[in-house]
Amino acid sequence: MKDIIRHLVQQALHQLITDGVLPEDTAPNIQVENTRDKTHGDFACNIAMMLSKPAKMKPRDLAEKIIATLPANSNISKVEIAGPGFLNFFQNTDALASRLDAALADAHLGVPHKTPQRVVIDISSPNLAKEMHVGHLRSTIIGDAVARVLEYLGDTVIRQNHVGDWGTQFGMLLAFMEENTVNSQADLADLEGFYRAAKKRFDEDEAFANRARELVVALQAGDDNCLSLWQRFKDISLSHCQEVYDRLGVKLSMQDVRGESSYNHDLPKVIADLTAQGLLVEDNGAQCVFMDEFKNAEGETLPIIVQKAGGGYLYSTTDLASMRYRSRELKADRALYFVDQRQGLHFQMVFALARKAGFVHPEMELDHMGFGTMNGPDGRPFKTRDGGTVKLADLITEAEERAYVLVKAKNPDLDEQELKQIAHAVGISAVKYADLSKTRTSDYSFNFEQMLSFEGNTAPYLLYAYTRVASVFRKTDFTMDGNIPGQIHLHAEQEQVLAASLARFAEVLNNVALKGTPHVLCTYLYDLAGQFSSFYENCPILTAEDQATRYSRLRLAALAGRTLKQGLELLGLQTLERM
Ligand code: ARG
């Protein structure tokens, strides 16, 4: 609808330019917004206010001229002037109803495919020294949701789990493995314990620390023994990650892993390329690139160090190599990095350098989709009671346990197996949704009580809303998939409000795709659930006065149910038929 309105206004403005009412060079950005109060129409446009100066007219007078010039369109029933000169558009409810009928008949809910792109999603990317902890949650969950939305809209998504599998921490682990004959898989099963023991030795014993440093050098020089131990450690570590991904229901597999080590062979070439382009400057023995646009507070240009004095490579070097790979081999149109906000400057700098050095093709979009920190309920960094980092696996277990108690209290009669299944879905969904529903860039406090509440913008509330729709259909011979006869008619206000929301699904998804902001979809679904609930309470469905109304309302309910389910699935949440 917004596109239609923008197009109509555009046509009107063209006409007014031809008529000499507006100057030749008028090229406004036409903004159309949803109105809050539906008595003032469904959409509002402030164009008359924006153009009143160049037109040398009062906004309301210009608004009148625009309305008189607007081409007729069957989707619009009327246009009014409001306040200082807003154009308020009223949607034609018959046209709206038939669009929803068409959406209901379509397995893809009437959501058109966008121009398909190849999109790399840099997702999760933990450092493989220890088990995943809460700090890895946001990248994994937000990246997964955006990837799903892009796929739904027709993009080809290439997930890249850029794990840190080549850093100095591996020397420590290798030295520890050397010291303690590690025989079975079982010895390494407690990865966290193993890592901590190695770190303790490293901090306490100078000889051990030196051996660890030697082993990093040996590893990076390709020593066979080191490499095979490293590989073994990496396999175990990755299988721990995979367990977490599977429990979270995140679409990531071993195929998506392309760690820092995989760019190893290419790093000398990155340096050679930068040298050939005359971009490198030696500074205290290190190889650096200086770009004028990056200065510190004192006005000194900041370096990007790409090779250390001893010859070692850095995080930036690997990122340059991976960008080149993503552009040349993966042929990406976009690369979206779901990485902690605090790495913002790093990405600004390597993106700029990659462009300057021609490592990515000029039209390729590089975007750091940064996110804020996850704090504990007290607003301070999230820690266990004894001050340690919280393992993601433990957090998930706690979420499931808490959900179990909750669901059991509500439904004491459920059999154990179903109870467990529901608790799993509710617990995981609660954790994921709490994260997804916050503005990506803000910090947020992790709070079990809040996220497991059945009230407010939470997963339990939304999952429950879906089960209410499902329960309506259990009482009929129809399914939500469109075998309901008749047509949608929009009479009651609650029907119209719900319908207008349902018609916005595609727009919301496109927004998420463009900006990498799943919280926009969360807010939409939360509103939709509320609108369904007022519709449900005010417009009897199964006991409607006549058959045409019953069918119409069932169709509306079916579309609401499917939109909710689809939306939740795109966020990576598993819906339940009952709970
Ligand atoms: N391993 C890094 C960390 O834990 C994140 C990597 C993000 N991706 C990238 N291409 N730099 O901080």
Region class of 282: left (phi > 0), else alpha (psi between -120 and 50), else beta: beta
Q: For residue 125, how far is its CA from the centre of ligand 1 (angstroms)?
A: 5
Q: For residue 124, how far is its CA from the centre of ligand 1 (angstroms)?
A: 8
Find out whether the beta carbon of 341 lies less than 6 Å from any atom of ligand 1: no
Find out whether the beta carbon of 125 lies less than 6 Å from any atom of ligand 1: yes
Please choose from 120, 121, 124, 125 the residue to mutate so as to test ligand 1's pocket, defined by most ligand atoms within 8 A of CB: 125
CB 449 within 8 A of CB 458: no
Find out whether the beta carbon of 127 lies less than 6 Å from any atom of ligand 1: yes
User: What letter would DSSP give residue 133?
Assistant: B
| Nearest-atom index, ligand 1, CA of 315 | 11
Find out whether the beta carbon of 319 lies less than 6 Å from any atom of ligand 1: yes
CB 233 within 8 A of CB 182: no
| Rounded Cα distance, 202 and 212, in Å | 8
Per-residue tens of pLDDT for the chain, all 579 residues: 888 999 999 999 999 999 988 888 888 889 999 888 878 889 999 999 999 988 899 999 999 999 999 999 989 999 999 999 999 999 999 999 999 999 999 999 999 999 999 999 999 999 997 888 888 899 999 999 999 999 999 999 999 999 999 878 889 989 988 888 665 555 667 777 888 889 999 999 999 999 998 998 898 888 999 999 899 889 989 999 999 999 999 999 999 999 999 999 999 999 999 999 999 999 999 999 999 999 999 999 999 999 999 888 999 999 999 999 999 999 999 999 999 999 999 999 999 999 999 999 999 999 999 999 999 888 888 888 777 888 899 999 999 999 999 999 998 999 999 999 999 999 999 999 999 999 999 998 999 999 999 999 999 999 999 999 999 999 999 999 978 999 999 999 999 999 999 999 999 999 999 999 999 999 999 999 999 999 999 999 999 999 999 999 999 999 999 999 999 999 999 999 988
SS3 of 376-415: the string is CCCCCECCCCCCCCCEHHHHHHHHHHHHHHHHHHHCCCCC
Find out whether the beta carbon of 122 lies less than 6 Å from any atom of ligand 1: yes
pTM higher than 0.75: yes
Q: For residue 339, how far is its CA from the centre of ligand 1 (angstroms)?
A: 6
Instruction: Report the pLDDT value the prediction gives residue 184, as an integer from 0 to 100.
Output: 52
Q: For residue 422, how far is its CA from the centre of ligand 1 (angstroms)?
A: 34
Q: Express each pLDDT in 477-505 by its tens digit.
A: 999 997 899 999 999 999 999 999 999 99
Q: Where in the chain is the domain with CATH 3.30.1360.70?
A: 2-91
| Nearest-atom index, ligand 1, CA of 164 | 1
| Nearest-atom index, ligand 1, CA of 136 | 4
Find out whether the beta carbon of 136 lies less than 6 Å from any atom of ligand 1: no
Q: For residue 225, how far is its CA from the centre of ligand 1 (angstroms)?
A: 27
Please choose from 165, 343, 389 the residue to mutate so as to test ligand 1's pocket, defined by most ligand atoms within 8 A of CB: 343
Find out whether the beta carbon of 148 lies less than 6 Å from any atom of ligand 1: no
Find out whether the beta carbon of 164 lies less than 6 Å from any atom of ligand 1: yes
Please choose from 121, 131, 162 the residue to mutate so as to test ligand 1's pocket, defined by most ligand atoms within 8 A of CB: 162
Which tokens is 409 given?
A: 């209290």
Q: Where in the chain is the domain with CATH 1.10.730.10?
A: 459-570
In 446-578, DSSP assigns E strands to none
SS3 of 237-258: the string is HHHHHHHHHHHHCCCCCHHHEC
Q: For residue 29, how far is its CA from the centre of ligand 1 (angstroms)?
A: 37
Helix (H) or strand (E) segment spanning residue 161: none
Residues in the chain: 579
Find out whether the beta carbon of 133 lies less than 6 Å from any atom of ligand 1: no
Direct distance between the N- and C-terminal alpha carbons of the chain, in angstroms, rounded to an integer: 36
Check whether domain 2-91 has CATH 3.40.50.720, yes or no: no
**Protein residue with its CA nearest to atom 11 in ligand 1:** 319
* Pairing of β 118-122 and β 156-160: parallel
Q: For residue 266, how far is its CA from the centre of ligand 1 (angstroms)?
A: 18
Q: Express each pLDDT in 172-224 by its tens digit.
A: 989 988 888 665 555 667 777 888 889 999 999 999 999 998 998 898 888 99
Helix axes 137-152, 518-538, angle to 10 degrees: 70
Q: For residue 272, how far is its CA from the centre of ligand 1 (angstroms)?
A: 24
Find out whether the beta carbon of 162 lies less than 6 Å from any atom of ligand 1: yes
Neighbour order of strands in the sheet with 43-45: 32-34, 43-45, 86-91, 76-82
112-123: string of b/e by CB count within 10 Å (b at 16+)? eebeebbbbbbb
| Nearest-atom index, ligand 1, CA of 347 | 11
Q: Please provide residue 175's backbone torsions phi and psi, each rounded to the nearest 5 degrees.
A: -60, -40
Check whether domain 459-570 has CATH 1.10.730.10, yes or no: yes
* Pairing of β 334-337 and β 118-122: parallel
Q: Express each pLDDT in 270-329 by its tens digit.
A: 999 999 999 999 999 999 999 999 999 999 999 999 999 988 899 999 999 999 999 999
Q: For residue 429, how far is its CA from the centre of ligand 1 (angstroms)?
A: 25
Q: For residue 390, how far is its CA from the centre of ligand 1 (angstroms)?
A: 19
